[in-house]
Amino acid sequence: MGEERERDIDELPKNEANYMALTPLWFLDRAALVHPNRLSLVHGAVKYTWADTYRRCRRLASALARRQIGPGHTVAVIAPNVPAAYEAHFGVPMAGAVVNCVNIRLNASTIAFLLDHSLAEVVMVDQEYFTLAEESLKIIADKKKGAFKPPLLVVIGDANCDPASLRNALNKGAMEYEKFLETGDLNFAWKPPKDEWQSIALGYTSGTTSSPKGVVLHHRGAYLMALSGALIWGLNEGATYLWTLPMFHCNGWCYTWSLAALCGTSICLRQVSAKAIFSAIANQGVTHFAAAPVVLNSIVNASPNEAILPLPRTVNVVTAGAAPPPSILAAMSRLGFRVTHTYGLSETYGPSTVCAWKPEWDALPPETQARLHARQGVRYIGLECLDVVDPKTMAPVPSDGKSIGEIVMRGNVVMKGYLKNPEANEEAFANGWYHSGDLGVKHTDGYIEVKDRAKDIIISGGENISSLEVESTLYLHPAVLEASVVARADERWGESPCAFITLKENVSKSKERELAEDIIRFCREKMPAYWVPKSVIFGPLPKTATGKVQKHLLRAKAKEMGPVKYSRL
């Protein structure tokens, strides 16, 4: 009887009328219904409510659809954090198309590769970057030799920019964004995707050593990550969010969609600086922002005329990207910021693990708290599987905090794959897991900790050295603003750590030799002898357009320097 009852339950048919594809587009529809008059976007003097934003996004979708832009088509957006970039995250997929937010810090040749590779049908470009878009399209046209059909150019005007750049764009045939919206129906009857696995967004990796790879994301993953990221962080209903993180970076870590789900308010920040961040906190009621560690570093080292302290309220910060040094996390906490440390990749919709804070850590010394907080932690609610494994056997490494393996993920918030790149897909998804390329350990409490990229591990005298751990110690030195460590050939040990350092502004650079010796002495007091850098080089660190240190350039420089030599008595 029991078996028959169980069988009846399992055989209930799916109610097709109630099946709706998961998509973050529903969040905007609801926000306009629940809080039509609440501010959705603020950009200088421009202010929109959720009812405004919904109408504008529907108009954008309609304007695209009337030009036969829909499923299978890509719309590129080359813009900083302005309202139009936010609207594209809803308006483009409402038309069934895929939004590709392009990094504005890239050069024309790289953007040309992206636009050509994605076959962008429409390019929405901020007026300040119109010349960059124009140069990129010219590169494609010259390469195609007459076989290139240029995309529709839509220029986004901004009262905060030089009006001459907008006039230039319009004189060259670009259509102004507001005029483009007017061609659309504000009551456009958009439809959710028939299949929630349909592509919603395309983003490109940094491509520091090869052509960028196009990461394709789907509606289901965007929906789940938008909610998961908000729950993990504690992003509350009605939050006031400052856009310090570029929307072009992993779609703003999916907070573009989270803010609609929570009916929050976006404060757009065209250019990020410590002064602008403190000003927005003091004057615009900011409660939350997301940022890479390099931004946290600028906040911690802000000058007295930039910082507005004490903070008028606790400000919640989520950080991800390069592993933040414990010293930076501790300094942010002292200033009154509540920092949530996360980790992820473009391929996992941005952050997908979190160093979930445990109440018992509150009683620990601040230094211990910072060290625990610097770990990458446990999987997000929306990520089903996370592990650290031997990349050859796929066997999980022991939870001892010492055994190094590769961090792998599997689940609904992992990308569909790389666009037009079967070889990269085969490598990335070997053995049914997404391979991050990051090396890490698993601690006894199950929290993971990144030790290095596979290519960044330094092997000295047969011992592995984590460049990240050496960097974390260097950040404790009072003269160090930024640090990056790579391997340098060593006559005695095969390889040894070579530290590249940017000094703080108030540090005299006239005695760099003495300062290098002091930094080495400092390291000897705080780390194993074989970890101590054998060479220290001062100067600005080369970075990618997304702010990541270009370690391959530092490795090349270390190679040019030749091996560390030892005097022979």
Domains of the chain: 24-226 (3.40.50.12780), 272-284+291-453 (3.40.50.12780), 458-561 (3.30.300.30)
Q: Look at residue 457 in the predicted model and tell me its pLDDT.
A: 75
Mean pLDDT of 318-327: 82
Closest CA to 304 of 478, 509, 501, 506: 506
CA distance 393 to 416: 24
Please check whether residue 196 is in contact with residue 21, taking contact to mean a CB–CB distance below 8 angstroms: yes
Instruction: Specify the pLDDT at position 2.
Output: 53
C-beta separation of 96 from 70 below 8 A:
yes
**For the chain, the helix, strand and coil percentages under 3-state DSSP, each to the nearest 5:** 35, 25, 40
Predicted local distance difference test score (pLDDT) of residue 569: 41
d(CA 99, CA 104) in angstroms, rounded, equals 15
pLDDT for position 185: 96
Task: Provide the pLDDT for residue 105.
Answer: 84
Pair 235, 272: CB distance under 8 Å? no
Residue 1 pLDDT level (bands cut at 50, 70, 90):
very low
Average pLDDT over residues 529-543: 90
Query: Tens of pLDDT along 339-388?
Result: 999 999 999 999 999 999 999 999 999 889 989 999 999 999 999 999 99
Mean pLDDT of 113-134: 97
Residue 296, both tokens: 């946290």
Does the pLDDT value for residue 545 go beyond 70?
A: no
Share of the chain above pLDDT 70, in %: 96
Taking all residues of the chain, what is their mean pLDDT, rounded to a whole number? 92
Q: Is 84 left (phi over 0), alpha (psi -120 to 50) or beta?
A: alpha
Burial class (CB in 10 A: 0-12, 13-18, 19+), 567: exposed
pLDDT higher for 5 or 354? Answer: 354
pTM (two decimals): 0.85
Cis peptide before 310 (omega within 30 of 0): yes
pLDDT of residue 451: 85
Query: What is the side-by-side strand order in the sheet with 385-389?
Result: 385-389, 405-410, 434-442, 448-453
Calculate the dihedral angle through the C-alpha atoms of 516, 520, 521, 523, rounding to the nearest 10 degrees. Answer: 140
**pLDDT 10s digits, 34-82:** 999 999 999 999 999 999 999 999 999 999 999 999 999 999 999 999 9
Average pLDDT for 260-265: 98
pLDDT tens profile 289-307 = 999 888 898 999 999 999 9
Query: Strand pairing of 214-218 and 240-243?
Result: unpaired
Q: Where are the alpha helices (DSSP H) in 357-480?
A: 366-373, 422-428, 467-474
Q: Please tell me the predicted confidence (pLDDT) of residue 324.
A: 78
Statement: residue 207 has pLDDT above 60: no
Query: Which of 212-226, 430-444, 497-511 is least confident?
Result: 497-511
Q: What is the predicted pLDDT for the residue at 430?
A: 95
φ/ψ of residue 120, rounded to 5: -60, 125
Rounded CA separation 85/75 (Å): 11
- The share of the chain scoring above pLDDT 90, in percent, equals 76
